[in-house]
Amino acid sequence: MNALELLKKDHDRVKELFAQYDADTGRRQEIAENVFRELELHSRVEEDIFYPAVRKHSDKQGKELVKESLEEHRQVEDLIGELRAMDPGDPDFDDRFEELMDNVEHHIEEEETELFPKAKALGEELDQLAQQMEQEKETVRA
């Protein structure tokens, strides 16, 4: 599995959790926490490993896409912080979580349609990046 496939798998996992959140109102707090953990881990490997590699090998547009992705990560981090500080029973919690879902889905769409095609220029390095990303995930989970 290369880095793009690994990141796409992460995206699919988060979208699956979003669907569970909408479908299972009895487990929303647990599902939301799973979403937060998945997003934080995903952001970490992107920021530490994937984005620097893409930036290094990209043209001006690619570098701008990385910069925009980092800004979107900050917005998601801020929303996660707000949600963790809220009581899940607060009526505003669902609205803020919906905002998080919208932001993340927008970010996923941009990455997969704009940034990933640029990253394909990394060629075989994508395999090495995937290994590094998996190792970092294992380290964080341990």
Q: Is the pTM of this model over 0.95?
A: no
- Is a pLDDT exceeding 90 seen at residue 133? yes
pLDDT for res 68: 96
- Cα→Cα distances 79→52, 101, 102, 127, Å: 24, 10, 11, 32
pLDDT digits (tens, 9 = 90+) for 90-115: 889 999 999 999 999 999 999 999 99
pLDDT for res 131: 95
In this prediction, residues 18-26 reach a mean pLDDT of: 89
List the chain domain ranges: 3-141
pLDDT for res 20: 94
User: What topology is assigned to 3-141 in CATH?
Assistant: Four Helix Bundle (Hemerythrin (Met), subunit A) (1.20.120)
How does residue 125 score in pLDDT terms, banded at 50, 70 and 90?
A: very high
What average pLDDT does the structure give for the chain? 94
- Is a pLDDT exceeding 90 seen at residue 26? no
pLDDT digits (tens, 9 = 90+) for 32-66: 999 999 999 999 999 999 999 999 998 999 999 99
